[in-house]
Chain A
Amino acid sequence: MSDESALLQTKGIRDGLLITFGQAAWPDLVAALVAQIENQPSFFEGARLALDVGANALRVAELSALRDQLSERGISLWAVLSESSLTEITAQNLGLATRLAKPRPSEVQQAAADEIPAEAAKWVKGPLRSGGKVTHEGSVVVLGDVNPGAEIVAGGSIIVWGRLRGVVHAGAEGDENVVICALELSPTQLRIANKIAVSPKKQGKNQPEVARLKDGQLVAEPWQA
């Protein structure tokens, strides 16, 4: 039991159980989890399980294998929390939630008005393709294109070093002092806080632009650093 508890921690939350993995190789973590479940089958039977995998970058095969192992034991995996964007995308592809209903307290950090705190930003390597979704409490930085059909929801600002053509929502938790900027700003739909806009048909040359809320109106202007 003692070495298992170093690998994972179990606690009850409103939506069932939350298991947080420690630092170890993925197969060891899975083995520890399975061992713990088999030690206390009646405790885990029928449970709704959320899993915090930390920084582990997981592919579909790994995550779906774990989900299958859990469902064989009568446990339904409904959410996977991770610091790795790859894991989050994988989880979303498998139809799993990637955040609990309430944001985790440690990550509720409001972006300051004029600067974007680096530690709260999430780095995404593009292109973000159709069906890809990135959700983050802080700001999101994408290196590459955001294609139509992709979606970004950020508590803070959204910066795209590439073409932005998907749906983006900055200040999703109500912060109006955020910006959305891209080398080519032509999103399917753009939202800041509770305001929604669609891109006008563009004429002429594309230039880097910044969108922000000014007097309650969504405006886009040239991006001047």
Chain B
Amino acid sequence: MTAKVVTVTSGKGGVGKTTSVANIAVALAARGQKVTCIDGDIGLRNLDVVMGLENRIVYDLVDVVEGRCRLRQAMIRDKRLPELYLIPAAQTRDKTAVSPSDMVRLCDELRQEVDWVLIDSPAGIERGFKNSIAAADKVLVMTNPEISAVRDADRVVGLLDAEEKGPASLVINRLNPIMVKRGDMLSVEDVLDLLAIDLIGIVPEDENVLVASNKGQPLALDPKSRAGHAFDNIARRLLGEQVPFMDLDTSGLWQRLLGRK
């Protein structure tokens, strides 16, 4: 096996990187892929919590890098999906505990074992970001439809070009179609207009995402969730399928339903 290493990054914090990594990983694993997630946010780890694996951590990323354990020992198997693993970040260290070349070495070792390596980048453009993109074959830049997040995404896209990690693909997270319609939120077109990179996913705002994250059960497997469906679509696009973007215009449906009454 030769895995593809995909890094999810954003510049700005709080746009949903960790949640997306967990959900895309679950969606890929549910499609029969062997997936390992790496939490790149050393010192502020979260991915273990969102995946509900916090209480199973024995070894972490820094233990592997510093040779206190073998790679396999730090890979925590998911509760529901046997082909999904997590390598958690160390909580008691900081970003300097790992170097970009450590990440390249680690991912090269992982490439033999799995189909996909998903790296959850920390916010910012410093060491943690550089560590997270060092080994990436593909980078997903995540943003929310708000000006500050888009501005930071633009900066990150520029840095990725300079590091020859481009072209990045864009995920627009937490889009609220009703607000866009009212003109109170940037539309997909507005965001693409500025960033001018390929779009790989649009995830609608969905409060169930938060509920699922708190429970430690990513909802990509939930057929009723629109956000879950959007994450699954991203996974399918990563696998090379041509998937049309979801129709987010809810009013059309309501009008149709009401019209029939």
Name A residues whose Cβ lies closer than 8 Å to a Cβ of B.
59-61, 86, 89-90, 93, 127, 129-132, 145, 147-149
B156-183 interface with A by 8 A CB criterion = 157-159, 161-164
Q: Are A59 and B163 in contact (CB under 8 A)?
A: yes
Known contacts A60-B162, A61-B163; A131/B155 CB under 8 A: yes
Complex partner residue of B196 from A89, A145, A148, A149, CB under 8 angstroms: A145
| A132 interface neighbour in B151, B158, B164, Cβ under 8 Å | B158
Chain B residues lying within 8 Å of A148, measured Cβ to Cβ, are 151, 154, 194
In the assembled complex, how far is the CB of residue B168 from the closest CB belonging to chain A, in whole angstroms? 11
Minimum C-beta distance from B229 to chain A (A):
31
A interface, over-half SS: loop
CB pair B152–A89 under 8 Å, yes or no, is: no
| A contact residues around B157 at 8 Å (CB) | 129
Chain B interface residues (CB < 8 Å from chain A): 151-152, 154-155, 157-159, 161-164, 194, 196
A225 to chain B, nearest CB (A): 26
Number of residue pairs A-B, CB distance < 8 angstroms: 36
Complex CA gap A80/B162 in Å reads 16
Question: How far is it, in angstroms, between the C-alpha of A130 and the C-alpha of B196 when the chains are bound?
Answer: 13
> Per a CB cutoff under 8 Å, which of B155, B162, B163, B164 touches A130?
B155
Complex Cα gap A60–B192 (Å): 27
In the complex, the answer to whether A59 meets B151 with C-beta atoms within 8 Å is: no
A127 touches B196 (CB 8 A): yes
Query: Which A residue sits closest to B152, measured CB to CB?
Result: A130
Contact A147 B154 (CB under 8 A): yes
Separation of A127 and B163 alpha carbons in the complex (Å) = 16
- In angstroms, how far is the closest chain A Cβ from the Cβ of B200? 19
Smallest Cβ-Cβ distance to A89: which chain B residue: B162
> How far, in angstroms, from A149 to B149 measured CA to CA in the complex?
12
Other A-B pairs, 6, CB within 8 Å; known A130-B152, A131-B155, A131-B158: A60-B163, A90-B162, A93-B159, A129-B158, A129-B161, A148-B151
